[in-house]
Structure formats: C-alpha cells, structure tokens
Structure 1
Amino acid sequence: MINMEVCANSLESAIAAQKGGAIRVELCDNLAEGGTTPSYAQIAMAKKMLQIKVYPIIRPRGGDFLYTQLEFELMKEDIKICKSLKCDGVVIGILKADGSIDKERCKVLVELASPMGVTFHRAFDMSNDFEKALEDIIEIGCERVLSSGGESSALKGAATLAKLIEQSAGRIIVMPGAGISKTNITELIKITDAIEFHASARHTSSSEMQFKNQKLSMGAAADEFSHDLTDSQLVKELIDLANSN
C-alpha cells in the first residue's frame, strides 16, 4: 500500500487532501517560498476539522536553512504551540553553514516535539553529503525525511532516492517529493521502491473579484487574482495510480 502525504498550503487545501484520501498533511503557508509555518488558527482548525494526521512545518522564513538564535527560539515556540494543539507531528530542518545537518539544534527540536512525530524536510536536499546526512537524521530521531534526491524534481533524483531508501534499511522512511504527478508516480515507485510520497496536487483557483486593479501588485505573485489549492480529485487519482499495480 502506497501512502500519500499532501503539502497543504491552507486549511481548505488540507480538507481537500483528506477528501482525496491522503493519510497526512504537511500544513504550511507561502508555498512560493518553499513553505513556512502556518498561523495558529490554521493549525488549530485543522486539528478540529481533520481526522488525518496534521504535521505543520516549523520554518520561520523562506530562504536558506541556516538560522539565527532568535529564529531557533521561534521554532521552539512554534513546536510548543503544535504540541499544545495536539498535532500529530512537525516538520523541521536546520543546516550548518558548511551544509551539514545541525544535529545539536535538530536534536533539541526532536526532543521538544516528543511524543509528536518529526519529519526532516527538504533542507536535506541542500546538505553537502546525502549519505552522512541520512545517518545524522536517523541519529537525531526523525521518523522520515522528505527528499527529491537533491534534484529539482523527484524523478530527476530517482536514482539517488533509490540508494537512500536502500541505505535506510527500514530505519527511517525516505519520502520522495517535488514534482510528483500522475505522469511519473508509477515510474518513481518502480525505480525507488518508496512506500510514501509527498505531493501538493494543486490546481489554480481564480479570484471572484469583479473589480481588478491591474496597475499594482501586492506581492511577488505573477497573478494577484488567483491562488493555488489542493485538488481532492487529483489526490485520489495519484493514490489510485500508485496502488494500481
């Protein structure tokens, strides 16, 4: 049985992920920046409204994964909030300046999160030595690691993902993510032997605004009058394809 985690950029997306058959959501905000910590309300209402597992990402900003002491303190506080809201787990990742896993800080976060589960996110793909990084992540106590094999998509990194899954030897789940789609999930399963996948399964939702001021932009988005949402039907189709063989 192949399980699907969905990267949900809102409560609405998380509800769609559950409807489509996902077993877990990585709840986040700002997907354009790779995902940042969602608001208290998003987390609290997700826990009230969902029956599947909720794992908020603990990431105070976009950009790299080298954090100041202040940012580290923010991450600890966000984990405490997630624990108080009875989340099932959290998603973390901290690197040192040389590209190695910051085991000391990550260990603090894993211990603080207990008994919640912990996933190590794609900061892994920015590390300087995948084999060592995997062993470090196992050592600090994470239950899974999300990775594209260090490439722009999981399909491009499939051979590396297969090696990491073999190296893991059941000690941790290596979960392919990045560009997972109906056109490649079957091939990825054959190449990697992965048992869990991570997808956003998004579609673009157009704004219902009748008046649109096109002379300015409120942010970096190319289109101010649309936003992405998880598509429950696409989630279902991905899961059906993954389990069709």
Structure 2
Amino acid sequence: MRRCELELAVQDLAGVRTAVEVGARRVELCAALGATGGVTPSAGLLSATLDAAPDVGVHPLVRPRAGGFVYSRGELDVIERDVATAVEVGADGVVVGALTPAGRVDARAVRRLVVAADGAEVTFHRAVELVEDVVAALDELAALGVTRVLTSGGAATARQGIDRLAAMVEHAAGRIEVMAGGGVLPGDVGSLVAVGVDAVHLSAKRSVADAGGPGGGADAGFEQTDPALARAAAAALAAAVPVRAGA
C-alpha cells in the first residue's frame, strides 16, 4: 500500500515545530507567504529550521520576488546560487518554478536548477498552473529530473481540480510525484488521497492581527501556521485509505 505524505508550507519556527509535532513528511519553507505567495526564506531561518526539524524534509522555496515566473538571466543566476547554497547547508530539496514568455516550462532554466540541486529533490511549484497543458508538462518535468509537481490540477483549489489531479496521477505513472495543493482544507484530504496523489500540501494558516509598521497600514497583520488545522489535516491523512501500488 502506498501512503500519501503531508507537506506543510511554513514561514517561521513556530510553523516548523508544528510540522514536527503533527508528523509532516516535509516542510516547504517560505517567507512572506500571505503577502506574496512566498519568496526565498532567509539563510538564518533555513539554518534554524534544519536544527529544529532533523527528521522532517526541509525544502526551501527559491523565488527571488513576487509576481510571475519568467525570469531574467540575472534572476536565474541568483536562483541557481540560492539552490546550490540551500543544498550545501543541508536542505533535503528545493521548490522552484520557471516559465518562458510563451507560458511553457522553461526547460533550460529547470535543467540548470536540477543540476544545482546536486541530487537533492526538486519540486516544481504551482507555476505549472499557468502552462496550457498541465498534464503534458509532467512529461517534460519528469524528463528534466524533477521529483514532484505541486498543483491544484489547474483549478482555483485542489478540491475543484480533483478530476484533473486524478488524470495527472494516472499519466505520471510513478515517473514523477503529483502533490495536491491550493486551498486544501482538512476535509479535502480524504478525497485527494482517494485519487492517488503522492502528497497533500497545505499552509494550514491563520491570520494574526498586528498594528503594522510605517507604510504597512493599520492592523496589517500577518499569518502563522494554525496547529489545530495542521493536526486536523494529519488526522485526516492518517484516516484516509491509501491507494494500492499500481492501482
């Protein structure tokens, strides 16, 4: 029986500790998750996370800015350096994504980043949702050496994209992992496991009120991992019926 894994997107040590507590297989380590969708975390946060979670896979997001995923030569150089540095200090993998101006997977860029990862796992993030044929993109990413793709199946949420996710799992046929993400709630986990995804990904976040700072607006607030939501997701995963290998 093949067990589906849990990945939590976290942006601070409190979130990392929650991931450890609930038995998450991996964390996607980000900064500014709520404000930007996530950018590269600091070297200090990565180092502290590696110390705090020795038994959890630590996969930093490597994304130098908010906005789209078409990168200049200089931006790709920075991403490549960040990937290599993350792996050198002990990251188990990295999370990346790059597209061409035509909206295709940037194969040349992804190949460089896989090489920079030097054998560590590589997750292609939800930039894949912007590709016209998400299912066909699996073939290209698998051939490039990408470990897994994070996707909602091209829909606003993974729950809405569940039919496409099922098709992606079938098409991937074990060549590349399909990790469901995008608005995932604990109540969605069982249905996602049932279609055979290799992992479920969620931020399990809650908003925290804060006075903000100059230029930040009143009560700008920020987001943190909600331990209760994370525990509920882990419990739902434990209760879900795993898919038989080859099913």
Question: TM-score, structure 2 length as denominator?
Answer: 0.90
Contact in 1 for aligned 2:158/2:180 (Cα 8 Å): yes
Contact in 2 for aligned 1:175/1:196 (Cα 8 Å): yes
SS in structure 2 at match of 1:243? helix
Q: 1:222 to 1:35 in 2, by over 3 A?
A: farther
Query: What is the aligned partner in structure 1 of residue 244 from structure 2?
Result: none
- Trace 1:149-188 onto structure 2 (pairs within 5 A): 149-188=153-192
Q: 1:113 offset after TM fit, Å?
A: 0.5
Q: Tell me the distance in 2 between the aligned counterparts of 1:222 and 1:132.
A: 45
Q: Which amino acid aligns with 1:218?
A: G
Q: 1:57 offset after TM fit, Å?
A: 0.6
Q: 1:222 offset after TM fit, Å?
A: 7.6
Query: What is the aligned partner in structure 2 of residue 26 from structure 1?
Result: 28
Query: What is the aligned partner in structure 2 of residue 238 from structure 1?
Result: 233
Q: 1:156 offset after TM fit, Å?
A: 1.0
Q: Which amino acid aligns with 2:236?
A: L
Contact in 1 for aligned 2:16/2:52 (Cα 8 Å): no
Q: Tell me the distance in 2 between the aligned counterparts of 1:85 and 1:233.
A: 31
Q: CA RMSD in A?
A: 1.7
Q: Tell me the distance in 1 between the aligned counterparts of 2:68 and 2:43.
A: 23
Structure 2: runs of 5 or more not aligned: 241-247
Query: What is the aligned length?
Result: 236
Could you report, residue by residue, the CA deviation over 1:81-117 in whole angstroms, capped at 9, with x for unpaired residues?
2022111000111000111101111001101101211
Query: What is the aligned partner in structure 2 of residue 200 from structure 1?
Result: 203
Q: Tell me the distance in 2 between the aligned counterparts of 1:222 and 1:25.
A: 31
Which 4+ runs in 1 deviate beyond 4 A?
A: none
Contact in 2 for aligned 1:119/1:145 (Cα 8 Å): yes
Q: 1:217 offset after TM fit, Å?
A: 5.7
SS in structure 1 at match of 2:9? strand
Q: 1:53 offset after TM fit, Å?
A: 0.9
Query: What is the aligned partner in structure 2 of residue 10 from structure 1?
Result: 12
Contact in 1 for aligned 2:187/2:236 (Cα 8 Å): no
Q: Tell me the distance in 2 between the aligned counterparts of 1:9 and 1:86.
A: 18
Q: 1:41 aligns with which of 21, 26, 44?
A: 44
Contact in 2 for aligned 1:67/1:94 (Cα 8 Å): yes
- Trace 1:105-184 onto structure 2 (pairs within 5 A): 105-184=109-188
Structure 1: runs of 5 or more not aligned: none
Q: 1:71 aligns with which of 55, 70, 75?
A: 75
Q: 1:195 to 1:222 in 2, by over 3 A?
A: farther
Q: Which amino acid aligns with 1:234?
A: L
Q: Which amino acid aligns with 1:194?
A: V
Q: 1:16 offset after TM fit, Å?
A: 1.6
Q: Which amino acid aligns with 2:202?
A: A
Contact in 2 for aligned 1:21/1:235 (Cα 8 Å): no
SS in structure 1 at match of 2:187? coil
Q: Tell me the distance in 2 between the aligned counterparts of 1:12 and 1:87.
A: 18
Q: Tell me the distance in 2 between the aligned counterparts of 1:21 and 1:232.
A: 12
Q: 1:62 aligns with which of 57, 60, 66?
A: 66
Question: TM-score, structure 1 length as denominator?
Answer: 0.91
Q: 1:189 offset after TM fit, Å?
A: 2.5
Q: 1:187 offset after TM fit, Å?
A: 2.4
Matched, 1:83 2:106: no
